[in-house]
Amino acid sequence: MAARYLINPELLRPYNGVPLHSHIRRYYLLPELDGGASKQYAINLQRAFGSLGSKLKHAYREPVHDIAIMRKQDEEALLAFANFLDQIEPDGLRHAADRFAMFAQSLRDINNGIRRQYFLPTAPNRGDQTEIWIARLQAVRGYNALRRSGYSRQKAAEFVAEQYPDLKGLITETGPRRSKTLEAAIVSWARDFSREEVKNPVAKALYKRKASVAPTDNNDQREGEAEAHRLLQDALRLLQDALHPSAE
């Protein structure tokens, strides 16, 4: 297999033959071969993409909410990618194909109750999953939008609790530090984010980035409320996705 690659313009279309828009065009790579070898490789590559697409469609043929079934779907998809890599370059991509196959086997083992070291946390951490923290981040951003538009701390917290009571599902802490109301929780999360005391590194970094581009003052209560609704609805969606994951 040649080490140097050229872009093959004939393959700028997905496996089912539907042309792609220019802004999402995918450049498939074709080894620099001569004559019939190049043409045959292009045919084999198209077949490999077609096979991969069919297998992925089969793996994710319907949305599910059961974690075990989701793992089974992901296992099937990972094996499809492993087979695809074996088809297009069995020598150069063998290690990558083996890793995909390893991930697939790990998911099968987990479904069978077998612990896999790879999927265990590096260090003990009783914190909530990242999706929950991202949902809290969006709730805090909605709260902050209200504060910038003139709401007091109490009124902004009450707005969140009254308009989106289901966000109380974001309160997962246990012990004496647990907030008993959504109003208290949103104020506490806002304080922790602003002081960079949030322990989840992804949510912490994302808040810092979002805060750096946020306006200092909306000056319009209606705009602030509209922005708050958008962010709080996003928080609610993220919470629902975290509690009820789907393969859709």
Q: What is the pLDDT of residues 160-218, one digit of tens each?
A: 999 999 999 999 866 556 678 999 999 999 999 999 999 888 899 999 888 766 666 66
25 has a pLDDT exceeding 50: no
In this structure, is residue 122 part of a structural domain? no
Q: Are residues 93 and 136 in the same domain?
A: no
Is the separation of the CB atoms in 62 and 246 below 8 Å?
A: no
Q: Are residues 141 and 100 in the same domain?
A: no
In this structure, is residue 124 part of a structural domain? no
Quick one: pLDDT band at residue 10, thresholds 50, 70, 90? very low
Q: Are residues 71 and 164 in the same domain?
A: no
Mean pLDDT over the full length of the chain: 79
DSSP structure class, residue 31: E
Q: Are residues 43 and 68 in the same domain?
A: yes
Can you tell me the distance from the alpha carbon of 88 to that of 69, in angstroms, rounded to the nearest whole number?
29
Q: Are residues 15 and 48 in the same domain?
A: yes
In this structure, is residue 210 part of a structural domain? yes
Indicate the length of the chain as a whole number.
248
Domain count, the chain: 2
Can you tell me the distance from the alpha carbon of 246 to that of 188, in angstroms, rounded to the nearest whole number?
30
The whole-model pTM stands at 0.60
Q: Are residues 108 and 139 in the same domain?
A: no
Partners of residue 31 on adjacent β-strands: 5
In this structure, is residue 123 part of a structural domain? no
Quick one: pLDDT band at residue 6, thresholds 50, 70, 90? very low
Higher per-residue confidence, 70 vs 23: 70
Is the separation of the CB atoms in 20 and 12 below 8 Å?
A: yes
In this structure, is residue 248 part of a structural domain? no
The pLDDT value given to residue 78: 93
127 has a pLDDT exceeding 50: yes
Q: Which run of H or E residues covers position 5?
A: strand 5-7
Residue 31 main-chain phi, psi, to 5 deg: -60, 145
Q: Are residues 146 and 86 in the same domain?
A: no
Q: Are residues 181 and 85 in the same domain?
A: no
Q: Are residues 170 and 225 in the same domain?
A: yes
Can you tell me the distance from the alpha carbon of 123 to that of 15, in angstroms, rounded to the nearest whole number?
42
Q: Is 208 helix (H, G, I), strand (E, B) or coil?
A: helix
Mean pLDDT in residue range 86-97: 80
From 115, 149, 171, the end of a domain falls on 115
Q: What share of the chain is helix, strand, coil (3-state, %, to 5)?
A: 65, 0, 35
Q: Which domain holds residue 58?
A: 5-115
